[in-house]
């Protein structure tokens, strides 16, 4: 299964990339990503996260826990997170890729791609639910960027 969404966001690319580059920030704008905990880096010094994905289908909920690493890191252009478990067993692949391309008027075109190679989250209904989560996440990210960081008062 592969879901892809493209959204045009207000720049600059460095600010957009900062939100996409750290899985710990995803729960701020992607409701599919329920809980994220950063883990110690892997032997190759790659950042790693324990990620709980959660999706609701009517009265039923599906939940999946994954260990994800950042496998590609090209600041302001591309970030890729891939499932990488350390339990010695074979697991279905999960890959989340975000690609940024400068657009007109200091805007950034972001293409987010979620790929899944297993069968737990397949079927027309669950595929639609995942697609809805990705679409809502793209809209929430746009909203977060357009409103900017919350104002903080200093004494």
pLDDT tens-digit map of 25-46: 999 999 889 999 999 876 777 8
Q: Kindly report the CATH number assigned to the domain that includes residue 112.
A: 3.30.530.20
| pLDDT over 90, % of the chain | 41
Asked if residue 155 is part of any domain, the answer here is: no
Residue 87 located in a structural domain: yes
What SS3 state is found at 131? helix
pLDDT of residue 45: 73
pLDDT for 16:
92
User: d(Cα 20, Cα 98) in Å, to the nearest integer?
Assistant: 7
Would 64 be classed as within a structural domain?
A: yes
Q: pTM for the full model? A: 0.84
Instruction: Look at residue 94 and tell me if it is in a domain.
Output: yes
Q: How many domains does the chain have?
A: 1
Residues in Cβ contact with 14 at an 8 Å cutoff, skipping those fewer than 6 apart: 75, 76
Question: Is residue 37 one of the residues assigned to a domain?
Answer: yes
Structural domain of 75: 2-147
Above 50 in pLDDT, residue 151? no
């Amino acid at each position: 299964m592969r879901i892809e969404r493209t959204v045009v966001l207000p720049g600059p690319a460095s600010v957009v990339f900062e939100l996409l580059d750290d899985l710990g920030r995803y729960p701020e704008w992607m409701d599919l990503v329920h809980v994220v905990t950063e883990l110690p880096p892997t032997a190759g010094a790659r950042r790693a996260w324990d990620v709980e994905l959660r999706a609701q289908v009517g009265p039923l909920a599906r939940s999946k826990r994954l260990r994800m690493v950042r496998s590609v890191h090209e600041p302001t252009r591309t970030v890729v997170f891939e499932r990488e478990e350390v339990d010695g067993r074979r697991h279905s692949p999960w890959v989340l890729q975000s690609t940024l391309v400068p657009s007109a008027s200091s805007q950034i075109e972001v293409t987010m791609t979620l790929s899944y190679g297993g069968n737990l989250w397949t079927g027309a209904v669950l595929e639609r639910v995942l697609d809805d989560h990705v679409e809502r996440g793209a809209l929430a990210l746009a909203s977060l960027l357009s409103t900017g960081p919350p104002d903080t008062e200093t004494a």
